[in-house]
């Protein structure tokens, strides 16, 4: 009998074509493959705390499971959790947040997707200061929008130039995205800058997932306190070392909260009920854990920074927040992805290529110091064994 002709696969939806690989994940997944072959890898490529979550959060999650808290919750999240989030905002920022304006989500990324879906029609624009978290432009593109990148400079401590943002605004600008502290730079914008951005007449999308992990007396200028429309996104992954719990939230303007609720009902139903109990416990009992992590991160930051500078990387001061060092690596290769792959394969150290954070990050590498001091020391030793040869080749 003649063979049936092979069916032609259907075309992908156009909205998926603009998505670019998340290079930090690509490096990590290759590192996992090496580890399956018996290679020991030091993971400085991915932003994941090596600390355990607060004990009370784990116990609350376990207790909720045992008590049968396994059903749907209100699509907006448990009232008790939203009230705890509102109290937390009052404690950290002296901000008055209505629990009714809070939408609890399965991580901060779904919150960002919901907000971008709410605001963007095809061709609408979102201004994004760069270097930027790799997924920001992909959220915008997936929703049919156009990311408009405005460069920041290490010489200016990665400060956002409000005049440059204003110059890039058009009739299609629907939002300005900021992060505090920023990934990958650890930068914190001034109160004056955040207020000036809010005064430009479009909503701020403020990603504050790294707040609480700040050093040297720094404090973020939260968008909770601006005079204007702002969507404040936050969660438990970084501050409370709860990445796998997948629990976050967005505080929305009054005019947006009902439409976001409807979207949540249809697209995600609700965040996991038992995990929300862990969130309540983290907010109520996790302050000491956060303080210990922050102190240890500060020590690790300085240890890694000194080691990288000794190896010939260019640093631009010490970051004020998050847990990354964004270092100039042109001395060892202008192609940051090729360099990151080489360091993984030869030194067995995972690092994130700067180009993952936009073209403004090319020639740089991001190093995560949310790892043990032993891992930092070992990674530095392994890099020291490989970098001199790369430098010689690069200058040849």
Same-domain check for residues 40 and 65: no
Strands (E), 21-172: 42-43, 102-105, 125-130, 146-151
Same-domain check for residues 227 and 347: no
Does the residue 330 lie in any domain? Answer: yes
Does the residue 8 lie in any domain? Answer: no
What is the model's pLDDT at position 396? 60
- Return the CATH number at 352: 3.90.1150.10
pLDDT tens digits for 148-188? 999 999 999 999 999 999 999 999 999 999 999 999 999 99
Residues of the chain with pLDDT under 70: 1-7, 392, 395-396
Same-domain check for residues 165 and 222: yes
Does the residue 6 lie in any domain? Answer: no
Same-domain check for residues 65 and 113: yes
What is the model's pLDDT at position 111? 97
Does the residue 7 lie in any domain? Answer: no
What are the residues whose beta carbons fall under 8 Å from the beta carbon of 262, sequence distance 6 or more? none
Same-domain check for residues 123 and 187: yes
Last residue of a domain, one of 286, 306, 335: 286
- Return the CATH number at 248: 3.40.640.10
Does the residue 9 lie in any domain? Answer: no
What is the model's pLDDT at position 92? 95
Map tokens 């920041």 to a residue: 152
Does the residue 299 lie in any domain? Answer: yes
Closest CA to 340 of 371, 368, 310, 306: 368
Count of the separate structural domains present in the chain: 2
Same-domain check for residues 136 and 266: yes
Alpha carbons 255 and 61: distance in angstroms, whole number: 33
Same-domain check for residues 324 and 353: yes
Same-domain check for residues 88 and 77: yes
Last residue of a domain, one of 286, 301, 332: 286
What is the model's pLDDT at position 255? 97
Q: Which residues form the domain of 35?
A: 14-52+288-395
pLDDT tens digits for 348-377? 999 999 999 999 999 999 999 999 999 999
What are the residues whose beta carbons fall under 8 Å from the beta carbon of 56, sequence distance 6 or more? 281, 282, 284, 285, 286
Last residue of a domain, one of 286, 319, 337: 286
Does the residue 260 lie in any domain? Answer: yes
Same-domain check for residues 163 and 212: yes
Same-domain check for residues 36 and 70: no
What is the model's pLDDT at position 265? 97
Map tokens 């190093």 to a residue: 367
pLDDT tens digits for 250-282? 999 999 999 999 999 999 999 999 999 999 999
Same-domain check for residues 61 and 35: no
Same-domain check for residues 77 and 164: yes
Taken as a whole, the chain contains a residue count of 396
Does the residue 2 lie in any domain? Answer: no
């Amino acid at each position: 009998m003649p063979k049936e002709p092979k069916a032609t696969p259907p075309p992908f939806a156009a909205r998926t074509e603009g998505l670019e690989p998340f290079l930090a994940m690509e490096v990590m997944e290759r590192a996992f493959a090496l580890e399956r072959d018996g290679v020991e890898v030091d993971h400085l490529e991915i932003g994941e705390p090596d600390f355990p979550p607060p004990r009370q959060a784990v116990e609350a999650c376990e207790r909720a499971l045992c008590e049968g808290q396994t059903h749907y919750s209100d699509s907006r999240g448990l009232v008790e959790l939203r009230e705890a989030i509102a109290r937390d905002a009052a404690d950290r920022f002296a901000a008055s947040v209505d629990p009714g304006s809070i939408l609890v989500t399965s991580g901060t990324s779904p919150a960002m997707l919901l907000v971008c879906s709410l605001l963007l029609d095809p061709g609408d624009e979102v201004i994004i200061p760069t270097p930027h978290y790799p997924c920001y432009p992909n959220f915008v593109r997936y929703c049919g929008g156009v990311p408009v990148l405005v460069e920041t400079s290490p010489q200016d401590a990665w400060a956002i130039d409000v005049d440059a943002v204003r110059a890039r605004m058009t009739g299609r600008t629907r939002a300005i995205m900021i992060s505090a502290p920023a990934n990958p730079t650890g930068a914190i914008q001034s109160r004056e800058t955040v207020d000036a951005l809010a005064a430009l007449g479009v909503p701020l999308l403020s990603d504050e997932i790294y707040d609480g992990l700040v050093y040297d007396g720094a404090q973020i200028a939260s968008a909770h306190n601006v005079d204007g429309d702002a969507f404040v996104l936050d969660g438990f992954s970084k501050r409370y070392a709860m990445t796998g719990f997948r629990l976050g939230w967005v505080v929305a303007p009054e005019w947006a909260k009902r439409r976001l609720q409807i979207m949540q009902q249809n697209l995600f139903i609700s965040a996991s009920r038992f995990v929300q109990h862990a969130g309540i416990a983290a907010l109520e009992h996790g302050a000491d854990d956060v303080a210990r992590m922050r102190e240890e991160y500060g020590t690790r930051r300085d240890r890694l920074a000194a080691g990288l500078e000794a190896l010939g990387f260019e640093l631009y001061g010490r970051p004020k927040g998050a847990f990354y060092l964004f270092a100039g690596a042109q001395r060892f290769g202008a192609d940051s992805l090729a360099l990151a792959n080489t360091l993984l394969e030869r030194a067995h150290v995972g690092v994130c290529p700067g180009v993952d954070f936009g073209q403004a990050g090319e020639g740089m590498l991001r190093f995560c110091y949310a790892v043990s001091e032993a891992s930092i020391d070992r990674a530095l030793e392994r890099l020291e064994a490989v970098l001199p040869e790369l430098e010689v080749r690069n200058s040849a």
